[in-house]
Amino acid sequence: MDIRTAFITGASSGIGWSLAHRLSRAGVEVALLARRRDRLEALAEEIAHAGGKARIYEGDVGNAPESVATVQRADDEMGGLDLVVANAGVGNERWAGKLRWEDVEPSIAVNVAGAAATLTAVLPRMVERKRGHLVGVSSLAGFRGLPRSAAYSASKAFLSTFLESLRVDLRGTGVTVTDVQPGFVRTPMTAANRFKMPFLVDCEDAVGEIVQGIENGDAVVAFPAPLVAAVRAGRLLPNALYDRAVTKARGR
């Protein structure tokens, strides 16, 4: 793997935790950002015991200016970041008839502003160095609006479109952009879901897909295949049919 250094947000659990382990085993020095310092310290200790290198940066991705400063500091301290992964995300379920701004704001702060801040923090430096890789973890939920997921689906749709525009603009600069679009992945966040999650993917398998996509320089990494096919087909349905289908599948 032609990556020396990587910055990962949302590293205290789930995909971020597993991705940090996988990259460190490949010889990558990882910088870990999350709010829970105790979890970051535990992860860094595990990586060190396995012979890897990790730095921890405690902070809230939802604070965009702070996130920019933290990524830039890591870039300075680590001699330049080769890979930046905007993985941190939040989600909650709320029927639209009871939706309040307080329910929406965390998704905007973390999934939209925080992700964009993370991805652009050292982007001009990467372009100047003519190397670098930006990865954003969006979701198949961003393809169309899902029931009780207005804020989450919209935030992930933003991230996918943002990454696509970056990819188009950065063509030929030496900076690669990858949009990771997972379905349901077995993590602490999805453990709180009270609905059926079709084609649920184990976290380690999901990280395997992500790492392979990074190594290949793929524009989009979407999985699992059966759910990807269903979601893409769903985009072709007329609104009336789509509304009935997803309402029946999820209920109210």
Active site residues: 152
Mode of pairing for the β-strands spanning 132-137 and 201-202? unpaired
Q: Is the peptide bond before 224 cis (omega within 30 degrees of 0)?
A: yes
- Contact between residue 144 and residue 233 where contact means Cβ atoms under 8 Å apart: no
Of the CA atoms within 13 Å of residue 229, those in its CB half-sphere come to: 3
- Contact between residue 221 and residue 138 where contact means Cβ atoms under 8 Å apart: no
Copy the structure tokens of residue 50.
């396995």
**CA-based nearest residue to 8, from 35, 46, 34:** 34
Q: Please give the backbone phi and psi of residue 66, each rounded to the nearest 5 degrees, phi first.
A: -65, -40
End-to-end CA distance of the chain: 46
Task: In whole angstroms, give the CA distance from residue 239 to residue 242.
Answer: 5
In 10-102 the beta strands, taken as DSSP E runs, fall at 29-34, 54-58, 83-86
